[in-house]
Amino acid sequence: MGELLEARNLTKLYGVIIGVNDVNLDLQPGVIGLLGPNGAGKSTFLKLVTGQLRPTEGQVSVLGQNPWSNVQLFNRIGLCPEQDSFYDNMSALEFVTSLARLSGMGQEAQDRAEQALARVSATEFMHRSIGEYSKGMRQRTKIAQAIVHDPDFLILDEPLTGTDPICRREIMDLVTELGAEGKSILVASHVLHEVQAMTDQFVLIFGGRILAAGKVQEIRGLMNEFPHRISLRCSDPKKLAGALIRDLPIDGVEIDQEREEVMVLTKDPGEFYAGLSQVVLATGLSVRELTSADDKLEAVFNYLMAAS
Amino acid sequence: MPIAELGYRPWDGARTGVMQRWMAITRSEIGIAFGSSKLLRRFLIFAWIPILYFCPIFLAIGYVADPANNLTEGAMLTEIAGEFLSGDALQRIRADPQSFLPGIWSIVFYFFFAYTQSVFAMVIVAIVGPPLISRDVKSKAFLVYFSKPIQPWQYLLGKLATVIFFVFCITLFPALVLYTISIALSPDVGTVQATLPILLQISMASLATALPIGMVVLLLSSLTGNRRIATFFWLAAWIFGEIAFRVLTLGGNFSRNFEPPPWAYFLSLRELTTRAASYLFQLPENMEALFTNLGPAGERLQRSMRGFASDMGDASVIEGSTDVLAATSSGFPPWVSLLAIALLSSLSGALLLRRVTKPVRI
Amino acid sequence: MIQLVDVAKFYGSFQALAGLNVSVQPGAIGLLGPNGAGKSTLIKAILGLVKLSRGTATILGMDAATQSREIREQVGYMPEDDCTIAGLQGVQSVALAGQLAGLPALTALRRAHEMLDYVLLGEARYREVQTYSVGMRQKVKLAQALIHAPKLLFLDEPTNGLDPVGREKMLRLIRDLTQKKGVSVVISTHILSDVESCCDAALILGRGELLVYDTIQALQKSVDSSCRIRVAHDVAKLCAALSARGYQIEAIGPDEARIRGEGDLGTAIFAAAQECGSEVREIMPSRNSLEDIYLAAVRATEGRPEKESA
């Protein structure tokens, strides 16, 4: 059972074109990254989740309710769409206020809009008309309208596209903050570094189906066919490699003298890490760097794409 | 055996000159126009239909003017020519074809340009012109052009040459075909020599038609990212200008002394190009020379030409006027139309340069 | 490669470039800055498309004001906008770009195929460009920028709209060009990790001024000797053990900490881990992240980016 989102055999076809194909998914509350190549069905999935589309087959429930034409649920969901759809001669404040009114707020609509805009650091420009905004300002306005009614579940579709690094940092911090406040956020992005910085939970859609869902490390743990690549750097990589091969479970070693690096391949990283301290100390070498790209979302993503 | 590296490789050959670069744009645009518009291909064929009408006329005149040809043998051609040439007038021409033929051909070419092809030119420009620049406005493709060693004028010339090419397809090229047919049947080498200036007239008149409408349509095209809006404005400007011009010159149908305001002629771009053609084909001079030399025998020819002009709605040849010469030059001196065309073209060109370089300058 | 002396540009009273002085070395350069910082004005000035209000720009030894055409023969530019020429097939539009740059028609077509092979656009090259996906359009634009074999290439947001696979392919091409093919590349982008992964140097602009120009290596070099560690479970035990050995500890998360101190940090960490039974998963010598550098530099000049323009 997914408290946040539950999909059962969820399918959407546009004529003969497939958008989402037989998706079964349970999500618990939290911050979740939504990944997938262009055209993989992410947008269709988000539209089904937000009730903009009706499934061809199967069910989806969000916060325990069916989203299709469910006005009650809409008040608990905030959506920041990928496309811009504004009235260019409105100001951000007017825009967010009017949307707040639409979601049933009365007197407090303007105050809430101002608060929401302040949260995305949009106070300075919120009185200017949207037509003059840069991409970053538009993104912030869209996020403000998504959070103005204080939803429990926030859906952000590519909120970082076209924004400069400062704006990116602010939006990412906002996502982390909201997550810490106990909100659930589903954030779609193409930049894996940024998803990684916001959360370690992700859903990967590929070809209209769910290829993987869960925590990065857990998913990595399931992929036994790819040995972990662990890099160690020290002044004498040959000597270190020798010691590692002798005493630890290792499936392959690459040595790069120039970079003073040993790249170890192992299918049993638990055992490897457990024995590592002892082996390193026995060599008397100073290991100045120990890293494994395999713990990162990017590596897991690449393995998943390579396998499929 | 070495293993070849098939990736990116540098290139350091000789660069082409200035001409090839804008011609590359033209070639590419012509390809796009042919490839993307079925309407264009159909219209190009349609616009050659007037040739079917003018071709027999040229053949017939060429045949009957040649004293070596027997009029009764070629009865069919004689009959066609008989519509406007017979009896005494025909005998005079047969006696000295070299002095009469260039003038007659020049006049018929004017009819070909002024009455059918000038209208077709407006239509073909409405098909090929509007997308030329608005497409680049929409996708901001200017940057693709100007980040390469291309000057704005080369870009514009490339686009303009595309419009001119398509206008030539229905003016210059069919006119050249007509000319070739007519000299093929001409009496002797002397006639060919005497009619050579017509080649120049044809080329100049084609250019005087293509240049201003090309410039104006490009200007409209550069004002919007939507080709349909550009097409709409082009058609609206043409049709409303034409209607206004017709209304203002309507009085000429009722009164001989009617003088429309001179600016009325500037309302219709088509009228301007027609008048420029009339100037370039030296229409008044040719008509006067022809009818003076033919004397009273030319009256029938004069009448049929006037009737033809009137059928075609040529307001500059006013029905009922006894003097075709006066009628064709009414309004303002003929060279003014050339000047107007030159001014209009350069003004449009200057505005275009500003429009086109704007996204790059800022 | 690019030499700017007091380069300034005003649009009316708006100052787009405020007197830049910099000499950019060949290689891969990340051009960074908020919207409206003058990045695109700078690129246009270098191509000689924008007339400078003041100063001189010398590119590959040529003066931007007087030798704009010669510069553009040696420089490629991949614009951010769509920039497709509707109605042309992919290969035709690349060949056209080649002809515009002065390649003879046949050479242009031949090279267009080579470039499309290089950017990995397959059979789709025979389709019209309007039917292309974002990734294909980016490939065609890159091929168009490369066709005349430029020595210097400007890429404006080359990974915009690309999915992770497309982005990695694009970055790989950029790395190949700069490292193996001797083409210098200037990448204007908002994605700092792209710059970290494929550039040698970064140039940060803010409000028309040069804020930072240095190699990535120098920028990332940390001032003090410290490192970040990550352990399998609870970091507190290890922290206590290291603390006892006289190292300064700063916890970052439940399993992460920063450790500061002199001498052989690596051995100390492993020894402490061995002692208290922790599993060390990661030891990362401290590096300044480009993001920190960027945020510090831009925020210092702007307070906050109040005057953005689209």
pLDDT value of position B318: 40
**Partner chains of A (3+ C-beta pairs under 8 Å):** C
Question: Which domain, by its residues, includes A276?
Answer: 223-307
C79 and C133 in a single domain? The answer is yes
Whether residue B149 lies within 8 A of chain C, CB to CB, comes out as: yes
A68 and A198 in a single domain? The answer is yes
C121 and C238 in a single domain? The answer is no
Query: Are C and A neighbours with ≥3 CB pairs closer than 8 A?
Result: yes
A28 and A106 in a single domain? The answer is yes
C58 and C166 in a single domain? The answer is yes
Q: Which of A166, A206, A217 to mutate to test the interface with C (most CBs of C within 10 A)?
A: A166
A145 and A281 in a single domain? The answer is no
Q: Does A305 sit within 8 Å of C298, measured CB to CB?
A: no
Q: What b/e readout covers A88-124, taking b as 16+ CB neighbours within 10 angstroms?
A: eebbbbbbbbebbeebebeeebbebbbbbbebbbbee
Pair C4, C55: CB distance under 8 Å: yes
Q: Does B12 sit within 8 Å of C176, measured CB to CB?
A: no
Angle (CA) C55-C56-C59 rounded to 5° is: 155
A179 and A260 in a single domain? The answer is no
Task: For residue C264, tell me if it sits in a domain.
Answer: yes
pLDDT value of position C124: 87
Task: For residue C306, tell me if it sits in a domain.
Answer: no
Q: Does C100 sit within 8 Å of B145, measured CB to CB?
A: yes
Q: Per the structure, how many domains does chain A have?
A: 2
The CATH number of the domain where A183 resides is what? 3.40.50.300
A242 and A117 in a single domain? The answer is no
C206 and C233 in a single domain? The answer is no
Q: Per the structure, how many domains does chain C have?
A: 2
Question: Model confidence over C153-167: pLDDT tens digits?
Answer: 999 988 888 888 888
Q: Considering all CA atoms of chain B, what is the largest pairwise distance in Å, rounded to the nearest integer?
A: 93
Question: Model confidence over A31-52: pLDDT tens digits?
Answer: 999 988 888 888 889 888 888 8
Question: Model confidence over B36-84: pLDDT tens digits?
Answer: 888 888 888 888 888 888 888 777 777 777 777 666 666 777 777 766 6
d(CA B136, nearest CA chain C) in Å: 7
C65 and C147 in a single domain? The answer is yes
Question: Model confidence over C216-257: pLDDT tens digits?
Answer: 888 887 766 788 888 887 788 888 888 888 888 888 877 888
The mean pLDDT of chain B is 79
C53 and C109 in a single domain? The answer is yes
**Rounded CA separation A56/A38 (Å):** 22
pLDDT at B188 over 80: no
Whether residue B35 lies within 8 A of chain C, CB to CB, comes out as: yes
Sign of CA dihedral A113, A116, A118, A123: negative
d(CA C95, nearest CA chain B) in Å: 10
Q: Quick one: average pLDDT of B343-349?
A: 90
d(CA C290, nearest CA chain B) in Å: 29
Chain B, 79 to 98: residues with Cβ < 8 Å from chain C are none
pLDDT at C306 over 60: no
3-state secondary structure C111-177: HHHHHHHHCCCCHHHHCEHHHCCHHHHHHHHHHHHHCCCCCEEEEECCCCCCCHHHHHHHHHHHHHH
**Partner chains of C (3+ C-beta pairs under 8 Å):** A, B
Q: At what angle do helices B18-36 and B38-46 cross, to 10 degrees?
A: 90
Pair A203, A32: CB distance under 8 Å: yes
Query: With a cut of 70, which residues of chain A have pLDDT below it?
Result: 1-2, 308
Q: Which residues of A are less than 8 Å from C163 in CB distance?
A: 36-38, 40, 190
pLDDT value of position C185: 93
Q: Which residues of C are less than 8 Å from A278 in CB distance?
A: 274
Instruction: Give the pLDDT band (50/70/90) at residue B255.
Output: low
Question: Model confidence over B118-154: pLDDT tens digits?
Answer: 888 888 999 998 989 988 888 888 888 888 888 888 9
Q: Does A169 sit within 8 Å of C35, measured CB to CB?
A: no
The CATH number of the domain where C261 resides is what? 3.30.70.270
Task: For residue C239, tell me if it sits in a domain.
Answer: yes
Q: Which residues of C are less than 8 Å from A287 in CB distance?
A: 266-267, 270, 283
Q: Which residues of A are less than 8 Å from C134 in CB distance?
A: 38
A139 and A238 in a single domain? The answer is no
Pair C159, C171: CB distance under 8 Å: yes
Q: Which residues of B are less than 8 Å from C104 in CB distance?
A: 13, 16, 20
Q: Which of C92, C100, C154 to mutate to test the interface with B (most CBs of B within 10 A)?
A: C100
Enter the DSSP assignment of C37: S
A98 and A205 in a single domain? The answer is yes
ipTM of the complex: 0.82
Q: Does B11 sit within 8 Å of C105, measured CB to CB?
A: no
Question: Which domain, by its residues, includes C242?
Answer: 226-285
**Rounded CA separation B138/B140 (Å):** 6
pLDDT value of position B314: 56
Instruction: Give the pLDDT band (50/70/90) at residue C141.
Output: very high
The CATH number of the domain where A237 resides is what? 3.30.70.100
Whether residue B18 lies within 8 A of chain C, CB to CB, comes out as: no
pLDDT value of position C29: 92
Task: For residue C303, tell me if it sits in a domain.
Answer: no
Contacts of C87 (CB under 8 A, 6+ apart): B32, B35, B36, B135, C128, C130
d(CA A276, nearest CA chain C) in Å: 8
**Rounded CA separation A261/A233 (Å):** 4
Task: For residue C240, tell me if it sits in a domain.
Answer: yes
Q: Does C191 sit within 8 Å of A191, measured CB to CB?
A: yes
Domain final residue pick, C193, C220, C247: C220
pLDDT value of position C95: 92
pLDDT value of position B256: 59
pTM confidence score: 0.83
A44 HSE (CA, 13 A, CB side): 26
The CATH number of the domain where C209 resides is what? 3.40.50.300
pLDDT value of position B319: 39
Instruction: Look up residue A30 and give its two tokens.
Output: 């939290």
A175 and A260 in a single domain? The answer is no
Q: At what angle do helices B49-65 and B75-82 cross, to 10 degrees?
A: 110
Comparing alpha-carbon positions, the chain A residue that sits nearest to C35 is: A164
Instruction: Look up residue C229 and give its two tokens.
Output: 């560690």
Task: For residue C242, tell me if it sits in a domain.
Answer: yes
pLDDT at B160 over 80: yes
Instruction: Look up residue B316 and give its two tokens.
Output: 């500059």
A184 and A87 in a single domain? The answer is yes
Q: Which of C238, C281, C299, C306 to mutate to test the interface with A (most CBs of A within 10 A)?
A: C281
Range from B23-27, B236-240, B298-302 carrying the lowest mean pLDDT: B298-302
Which amino acid belongs to residue B194? A
pLDDT value of position C154: 92
Residue among B13, B35, B131 whose CB faces C107 most closely: B13
Residue among C163, C294, C308 whose CB faces A134 most closely: C308
